[in-house]
Amino acid sequence: MQHVHEQILDAVVALVTSLSTTGSRVHRNRQYDITPSQLPALNVVEGEAAIVEEESSYYRYITRDFELTIYGYAAAANDVDETLKDILNEVVQALAGDSQLAASLAALGHSGRVWFCVMDSSEMPEIDEKATPSGPIEMNCRVRYRTSATDPTTLT
C-alpha cells in the first residue's frame, strides 16, 4: 500500500482535477516547464512533514502536519491576474468541499480521512510582461493526519 503522503497527494490531485479554469491539466511533482499551450494548469508539489503530537498508550499514534503547495499557472493575451484569481477561488472551493479528503480518498480506494486540509496562504508574484503575459500563483496548504507509529500507510 502507498505511504500516506502518496495517498494525500493523489486525493488532492483528484480533488482539483476538472476545475473550469484548469480542467485536466493537473500535474503532480512536475519538475519540468509547462509550455504556454498547456496553460492554464496546476502542479501539486509535496512539501515537508513534521510531528505535531505523539500518543503513547496501548496503541501508539503519531499526528503530523504535511505541507503541500499547489502552483497555478496562466498565460493570456490579457487578464492573467483574473485567471489566476479564478484558479485560486476554484482551488479554495474544491478544498472546502472535501476538507477531510474522505470522499477523495474513498474514490481512490483508500480508507480513512485526514483531520483537515486547508490553504494556509497564497502568493501571486509579478506577472511576466512579454508578448503573451504569464504568471504563477502559489497556494500553500497544510494537511493534518494521524497514523499508527508502526504503519505509515493507514490513516487512523
Contact indicator for 119, 27 with CB cutoff of 8 Å: no
Per residue in 70-114, pLDDT (tens digit) is 999 998 766 888 999 999 999 999 999 999 999 999 999 998 899
What pLDDT is stored for residue 32 in this prediction? 78
CA atoms within a 13 Å half-sphere pointing along the CA-CB vector of 89:
8
Q: How many domains does the chain have?
A: 1
What pLDDT is stored for residue 59 in this prediction? 61
Per residue in 10-64, pLDDT (tens digit) is 999 999 999 999 999 999 988 878 888 889 999 999 999 999 876 656 568 889 9
At 74, is the secondary structure helix, strand, or coil?
strand
- In the structure, what pLDDT confidence band is assigned to residue 130 with cuts at 50, 70 and 90? low
Distance CA 120, CA 138 (A): 11
pTM of the complete model:
0.91
User: What CATH code is carried by the domain that includes residue 24?
Assistant: 3.30.2000.10
Q: Which domain holds residue 121?
A: 4-155
